[in-house]
Amino acid sequence: MSTQARVAILGFGLTGRIAALMLAERYQISVFEQAKQGTESSAGSVAAAMLAPLAESVICDEALALQGLESMKLWPQLLAKLESPVFFQQQGSLIVAHGQDRGDLVSFQQRLKPLKDHSAEVVNGAQIAQLEPELSGVFHQGLYLPCEGQLDNQAFYQSSAATLTKQGVEINYGVHCDAAQKAQLSQAYDWVIDCRGLGAKATCYGLRGVRGEVARIYAPEVTLTRPVRLMHPRYPIYIAPKPDHQFVIGATEIESQDNGEITVRSTLELLSAAYSVHRGFAEARVLSLLAGLRPAFKDNHPKIEQQGNVISINGLYRHGYLLAPLIVKQALSKELL
């Protein structure tokens, strides 16, 4: 393959950016993104960007969770390609429950799948206070999942766009690619990588959206050093601490294609549950309340498809940050890497 081969990437969300970063040094790349510059319409920009293979093993099969563990290892290499540093941590996550919800914690623990050498550690109140001093006296039971991590997706979006632009990648914003345009691009380019997420729904059999809502808040009175999940019978939430006292509180999961604004009910549930974890959230400032649609297939597994010179990567569901580095690498490895 000549180094001058031309690659079109459709969609500049999470997978599109990862594909561009993996290919930019070897190919001439053009990106086509439907959102206008400075606006976002991707699930990846809404997400909490937690890397949680062990916690997610409760709702996915073991093979997928193991892929997640492999995939996490690729993030530092990807982030090293970027011009400005992006917050990435692997300091584990903490699972807690209020006394009356102990049953939910036990049930969660029982459903965790063993992932090679990685397992959950049962922690008591003193150990919770050691891990997260500001939760001292609030929780007396929990689980610590040392293998887990997270990153700052907003910084990743900004830094990847700046880096790729500097590398000469042509990013065309405000271009909606439908099936006809995709066919045209496959004539004009050596390769087309379709990373349109839910935007590919019309021609991607079985693809559906799974609604998720999050709050991003600024809470100068709260210091947490790692993601914290609250087990609750009705409002299970996570709190992912990002740099500068920003926190992503999420996420609802609703089987709906509705991508309208976050509802009052979800807002109340997310913020009340967060307040029950740490009283310092009372005076926090709400920076954004967002909703997005996770692209998913029936089995909630990602799918790579190739037709001629068109490679499609989709169905990352609620595991895009966890799985995309590995899945995109697999998709590109056969022909392009």
Residues 254-293 that bind ligand FAD (CB under 6 A): 292
The correct pick among 8, 11, 60, 160 for binding ligand FAD (CB under 6 A) is: 11
The correct pick among 8, 22, 44, 95 for binding ligand FAD (CB under 6 A) is: 44
Binding to ligand FAD by residue 195, rule CB under 6 A? yes
Instruction: Report, in Å, the least distance between residue 105 CB and ligand FAD.
Output: 20
Structure tokens at 34: 């439907």
The residue (of 33 and 141) whose beta carbon lies closer to ligand FAD is 33
Binding to ligand FAD by residue 236, rule CB under 6 A? no
Residues 82-141 that bind ligand FAD (CB under 6 A): none
**Residue reference for tokens 């913020």:** 271
- The closest of 257, 261, 260, 156 to 198, measured between CA atoms, is 257
The correct pick among 20, 24, 29, 47 for binding ligand FAD (CB under 6 A) is: 47
- 132 contacts 125 by C-beta, under 8 angstroms: no
Structure tokens at 157: 């979006």
Our CA angle for 59, 62, 65, nearest 5°, is 75
Binding to ligand FAD by residue 295, rule CB under 6 A? yes
Binding to ligand FAD by residue 35, rule CB under 6 A? yes
Q: How far is CA 284 from CA 17, 215, 225, in A?
A: 32, 11, 17
Instruction: Report, in Å, the least distance between residue 3 CB and ligand FAD.
Output: 26
Q: H or E segment at 30?
A: strand 28-33
**Residue reference for tokens 């029950």:** 276
Q: H or E segment at 66?
A: helix 62-72
- The closest of 241, 239, 269 to 254, measured between CA atoms, is 269
Instruction: Report, in Å, the least distance between residue 233 CB and ligand FAD.
Output: 21
Give the chain's end-to-end CA distance (angstroms, integer): 10
The correct pick among 22, 50, 65, 336 for binding ligand FAD (CB under 6 A) is: 50
The residue (of 141 and 194) whose beta carbon lies closer to ligand FAD is 194
Q: Which residues of the shown chain bind ligand FAD in the complex (CB under 6 A)? A: 10-16, 32-35, 41-44, 46-50, 176-177, 195-197, 199, 212, 214, 250-251, 292, 294-295, 314, 316-322
